[in-house]
Structure 1
Amino acid sequence: MLQQPAPRYQGHKSYSYLEPHTDYRVFPLAQEVGRVPEHDLGLSDGQRERVTRLLTEHIAISLHEHPVVLPEDVSRLREYNRTARQRTGYEGLSRSGLTAVFDNFMAGASCVTSENGWKWNDLIYALGMRMSDIYQQDYVTLATSLADIHAAKRDGRLALVAGLECSSPIENELDRIDILYGFGVRQLGIAYSQANMLGGGLSERHDGGLTHFGRRAVDRMNKLGIAIDISHSGDQTCLDVIEASRVPVFITHAGARSVWDTSRMKPDEVIRACAERGGVIGIEAAPHTTLSAEHPHHSLESVMDHFAYCVDLVGIDHVTFGPDTMFGDHVGVHNTYAGNYAHDAGNRPEHPRVEYVSGVENPGEAFGNIVGWLVKHDYSDDEIAKVIGGNTIRVLEQVW
């Protein structure tokens, strides 16, 4: 369900304070609005009005996105990323209905100094360049506290929470966590599919769990007030992190392995353990992840099968959404970086391939359609308020 642009948005385009072709390289970019057909939920006028009211009245937080605009020709993605000037999708975000977005800067794809990503220097490029542009406009604002998120809601702005889905760039330097905190980062993942100094990734056939250094890192994140993400960690590492952390942790973007049997999804044991310690799982929507036997052609319906299962498993107080979308050809991103990062150590069930995930294709449309689905399926206002932001706020009150 496409929202109208936020009144506060004044049309800023990334790096428009610089001179194109002189200060930075120019790439034709993907459309932020209208790149794919609008998803038709079949809502009545009254239901559409309710969606708008819910997003207006309540805080809506996407727990995991990459709200950058990709090049129109995705074959130029590595060339684009090497410039370190990924563009923020301000126009698309202005139509999202979101109060806040956890922006997981694409450090793994910011291959400025290395083709393999996750290097400390490349991470600093990714953070610094994007932040320099964010500070040049008045709609998206960096959030480092709950007060900032509430202020954004009050002022008609969109709060951006800086996050990283992998701690590999800190190497064995614990103080780099403090440096990232100083740069405004408020959420960190443990491992991105492959093992690192902290623990095991979900693509490894043998997960040794959280390392001694990983336990020290978890302790440091707790002391600083950095939310911990275990979405791409191996199962044992997930359980170890949940146990080691003194505050609840997030599974910011995943689904249920009982619904779709791949290592990218989380087993019931991990989802339950996360919830029992007060944590929350954000339901993923990146192409070819949260599929289901009932809806193997990936769409909003597939995603919501995982949502419904997790609500039944751990209760509505422990589920939210982290769609993990971007503006442009997400499938093309996966194809471009397929050689860099393995995602599945084991089986890959057969399923139809899609060009995009209808209904949750980008950060501008995802939450409007998610709320539309919830309205259509008769969830109460209170239940919807919890799963679009209230549950995340509750965890952040303990973490931050």
Structure 2
Amino acid sequence: MAIEVSRRNLIKALATAGIVSQFVPLNAFAQPMAKPLYIDGLSFLPDDLADLSASKLDAYLCDISAIEAIEQADGTTNYKRTYNACVKSISDALTRVNANPDKLLLGKSTSDISLAHDTGRTAVIFQIQGADCVEESIDSDLNQVDEFYQRGLRVLQLTHHYGNKFSGGALDNDGKQGLNLPLTAAGHQLIDKLNHSKMLIDVSHSSPQSALDTAKASRVPIVQSHGAVRAIVNHARCSPDEVIKAIADTGGLFGVFMMTFWLTNDRVPTAEHYLAHLKHVANIGGIDAVAIANDYPLRGHKNLIKLGNNNAEGVKEYIEWWHSLRARGVLGFDIEPEHVVIPELNNIDRMEHIDSALSSAGFSSSDRNKIMGGNWQRVLTQVLG
């Protein structure tokens, strides 16, 4: 009859006989190191689901919102996520997730992230970029938040570029270097509702003052899922150090994204420019506040990929919008953009490239694990459960 010997007993027996120490490396019986979690702060459901496994992502915040283009009084355009548009878009996204259970998993809690990691799938945590989808009056119970939660939403961004009834926007302006509007009374009500509903609050695109107010008002960690550092690029869309610190003080995190006209004013963007923002966030908020974000499709910026990452050509699609904000005197738009992407990161292997760059830059394995996904897992655990 065969006798089963456990790995621990085998090692003990070999050690007693002196075999392990004489002939076998001490780590020979160690389990292979599991791949660290890769979690991205913002992307979208891909056209080709093969991109999910190719990206190596275990999970990501997935923007499922739909927009309506609305012209502002000052001639600029705001892209609002309205209630009707987002109800349809979240239903469509959920249908697609449910139709592909071998590849996708709806991320409702961090247990779903662990399950996706263990089963080779990708957890998508539904996010809407702008609370315009909550159209109820401020004296209501904000039941639309509950409705979106039941449909699978777990992350709500307060606004997108321009302010709304809840929050000031990063690009709000009066022609004099912009406005720094605070969180409104309705915004405070929304923060309470989101805290109670166990939904993560995202202050990306908020004005600095609204972000500071949100950090003070929230009872749980908040995030800026995707952004950049104003100390490096002096631009309205980039966050001052006090905002980064305030987010970190909530136990939250700051995700650095791939839009290079907000990462550097140098003519040629490189991975070093991206690392500079990660390092700055770590210096201001601590290593537990640093995270990765994309803000493009999993495979990268589609048009730039078609152009072979020719930034000089690719940036042209942004010039008209950029100049419209320049005409209003918004901070940072006086500098002409020359690029859109970091070519070496504008591809499906982005996360592995960043991980390798962090290693080359001297980050420890434990710090890299936090940056590449561990910090996201921690925050999502604290907020979503």
Normalising by structure 2, we get a TM-score of: 0.77
Measured in 1, the distance between the counterparts of 2:120 and 2:254 equals 27
Partner of 2:38: 60
Q: What does residue range 281-300 of structure 1 map to in structure 2 within 5 Å? A: 281-291=254-264, 295-300=266-271
Structure 1 residues 109 and 369, CA, compared in 2 at 3 Å: closer, same or farther?
farther
Q: What does residue range 216-365 of structure 1 map to in structure 2 within 5 Å? A: 216-291=189-264, 295-326=266-297, 327=299, 328-329=302-303, 335=318, 338=321, 345-348=330-333, 350=335, 353-354=338-339, 356-362=341-347, 364-365=348-349
Partner of 2:95: 132
Partner of 1:8: none
Residues 193, 342 of structure 1: 8 Å contact kept: no
Measured in 2, the distance between the counterparts of 1:325 and 1:179 equals 27
Match of 2:160 among 166, 175, 192: 192
Structure 1 residues 115 and 260, CA, compared in 2 at 3 Å: closer, same or farther?
closer
Select the structure that is richer in helix.
2
Shift, 1:57, TM fit: 2.1
Q: What does residue range 82-161 of structure 1 map to in structure 2 within 5 Å? A: 87=47, 89-108=48-67, 117-137=80-100, 138-161=102-125
Shift, 1:298, TM fit: 2.8
* Cα deviation digits, residues 273-310 of structure 1 (max 9, x gap): 11122111001112422225xx4423322211111111
Partner of 1:214: 187
- What is the percentage of aligned positions where both structures have the same residue? 25
Measured in 1, the distance between the counterparts of 2:226 and 2:54 equals 22
Partner of 2:365: 381
Structure number with greater Rg is 2
Letter in 2 for 1:218: I
Measured in 2, the distance between the counterparts of 1:337 and 1:100 equals 34
Structure 1 residues 115 and 167, CA, compared in 2 at 3 Å: closer, same or farther?
closer
RMSD of the TM alignment (CA)?
2.8
Shift, 1:110, TM fit: 8.8
Measured in 2, the distance between the counterparts of 1:97 and 1:350 equals 36
Q: Secondary structure of 1:359's partner?
A: helix
Q: Secondary structure of 1:387's partner?
A: helix
Residues 202, 345 of structure 1: 8 Å contact kept: no
Q: Secondary structure of 1:187's partner?
A: strand
Measured in 2, the distance between the counterparts of 1:290 and 1:109 equals 28
Measured in 2, the distance between the counterparts of 1:333 and 1:350 equals 14
Count the aligned residue pairs. 323
Measured in 2, the distance between the counterparts of 1:265 and 1:115 equals 18
Partner of 2:13: none
Letter in 1 for 2:369: A
Once structures 1 and 2 are overlaid, which stretch shifts more, 200-209 or 151-160?
Answer: 200-209
Consecutive unaligned residues of structure 2, counting only runs of 5 or more, are 1-31, 71-76, 173-177, 305-313
Normalising by structure 1, we get a TM-score of: 0.74
Consecutive unaligned residues of structure 1, counting only runs of 5 or more, are 1-52, 69-86
Letter in 2 for 1:99: D
Once structures 1 and 2 are overlaid, which stretch shifts more, 227-236 or 126-135?
Answer: 126-135
* Cα deviation digits, residues 162-200 of structure 1 (max 9, x gap): 011211121235211111111101001011111111010
Shift, 1:116, TM fit: 5.0
Letter in 2 for 1:219: D
Residues 275, 358 of structure 2: 8 Å contact kept: no
- Runs of 4+ displaced beyond 4 Å: 114-117, 330-334, 341-344
